Amino acid sequence: MVARAPISEEVSISSIPWIRWFTDVSDVLTPPNWDSGEFTPVFSGLSVIDTVAVSGYYVRRGKILMFEVQIVPSGGGESASTFGTTYFTLPDLLINKNSQKTIDALGYGSMTALDLDAPADLGSGYVLIDTLNAYTPTWSSTPNQITINGWVRIEGL
């Protein structure tokens, strides 16, 4: 028979590893921290010819914010982007919708862009956490619809 060590009264339930894990992810699993909606991305450095519509959608689950941006030229419109120069800013309200905390430090983020008409992967971009600027990859002037998908892990909430 295996001898069992007595359970110490100093051990709390939160010190059990799997309980700590469930406690850490509980904010992701709690419905009040779930949110989704639309936003209009404001671009800087996006080259456009004629008519180009932009729209965005986001889903926030706890500390993870996922977003999708559509760039849709019409009537002879075209768009072009330059890596490191073209970006859009994720609205602050997407991060703070369920929290009154100021964003001092976020986490990290990534994104990719796709040409839906070709179809082609246009490459990866990145999100600068301190400014919430999402930098797009390079694509040459095209009348095709571009979809940008990305995510940000939010720290400090």
CATH number at residue 143: 2.60.90
Query: Residue 155's pLDDT is what?
Result: 63
Q: Is residue 57 part of a domain?
A: yes
35's tokens: 């949110």
CA distances from 129 to 111, 135, 138, 152 (A): 13, 11, 20, 8
Quote the number of domains for the chain. 1
Query: Residue 1's pLDDT is what?
Result: 52
Q: Is residue 92 part of a domain?
A: yes
Contact 64, 89 (CB under 8 A): no
Q: Is residue 4 part of a domain?
A: no
Query: Residue 99's pLDDT is what?
Result: 44
Domain with 81 in it: 35-153
Q: Is residue 118 part of a domain?
A: yes
Pairwise CA distance, residues 125 & 87, whole Å: 9
Q: Is residue 72 part of a domain?
A: yes
* Threshold 0.75, pTM exceeds: no
* pLDDT, one tens digit for every residue, the chain (157 residues): 555 545 444 544 444 444 444 444 544 555 556 778 899 999 999 999 999 999 999 888 777 788 899 999 999 999 999 998 999 988 765 555 444 433 333 455 677 888 888 888 888 888 877 778 888 999 999 999 999 988 887 765 5
